[in-house]
Structure 1
Amino acid sequence: MENNTDPNSEDAVRNSKAAREARSIVRFMIEHTAYGGFGALVFGCLVLFFDIGGIYSLAMSSRDAPIFIFLLFFGLFITFGGISLGIGIMNLGGFSDDDRYRDERTSHRNRDD
């Protein structure tokens, strides 16, 4: 039996509108998670540098300091990345919601001139 797959059909699927939109969504998610990750990195470094709550001193007095630092930054990355991604997703509908609100506000205005 012969395999009748056309190499151009794979390119058509790869460059289809659905595939481009999927890549766009994944890029959006990675970009916003990276913003949160950068914020987590900055915040974690500042917490350790200023020794807030004695966290740095406590971690360095332990023999498991690398595990502690990893868990601190992992938790911060998950938290800040999730918040950043959530803010990005919630801002996606901001334009249409805002336009509709303005339209309703101007059409139902009380004219007491």
Structure 2
Amino acid sequence: MTSSDDRNSPQDDPRNSKAAREGRLIIKFLIEHTAYGGFGALVFGCLVLFFDVGGIYSLAMASRDAPIFIFLLFFGLFITFGGISMGMGIMGLGSFSDDDRYRDERTRQRDDD
């Protein structure tokens, strides 16, 4: 009975390992930045339709396939803005090391030896 309790302890659960926790943080980071881009796409798409830029709204409403057109417009905007936002978030992660004065952990560990 105690051996099964020892095997099922929360510390030994692979879903609770350091790699799993870091993986969840990365996924959360990517979803968060994609959502920011999606919100930007929604705002931009609504403004384009509201101000009828290039006659897009008039052209869409004159068609019998207006819902498909609107869906495709917002889908394309979401993919574009979401990808840009996610890329900016990922590229922003390394910005702290672009400073030549920055000393990373490897340098500190070598100094400790």
TM-score, L = length of structure 1: 0.80
More helix by share: 2
The answer for the alignment partner of 1:66 in structure 2 is 67
- Cα offset, 1:8, TM superposition: 3.1
Partner of 1:47: 48
Decide whether aligned partners of structure 1 residues 102 and 61 sit closer, same or farther in structure 2, where only a CA change above 3 A counts: same
Tell me what 1:20 maps to. 21
Corresponding residue for 2:97? 96
Aligned-residue identity in percent: 78
**Could you tell me how far 1:60 is from its partner in structure 2?**
0.3
Structure 2 residue aligned with 1:83? 84
In 1, distance between residues paired with 2:10 and 2:17? 10
- Structure 2 contact 50–57 (Cα < 8 Å) conserved: yes
| Number of residues of Structure 1 aligned to a counterpart in Structure 2 | 98
One-letter code of the match for 1:52? V
Quick one: distance in 2 between partners of 1:65 and 1:7? 56
Q: What is the CA distance between 1:15 and its match in structure 2?
A: 1.0
Q: CA deviation at 1:11?
A: 6.0
Letter in 1 for 2:13: A
**CA-atom RMSD, angstroms?**
1.9
Counterpart-to-counterpart distance in 1, 2:101 and 2:61? 56
Question: What TM-score, normalized by structure 2, do the two folds share?
Answer: 0.80
Partner of 1:31: 32
Unaligned runs of 5+ in 1: 104-113
In structure 2, stretches of 5+ residues that fail to align are 103-113
For 2:60 and 2:92, the matched residues in 1 are separated by 38
Deviation at 1:14, TM superposition (A): 1.1
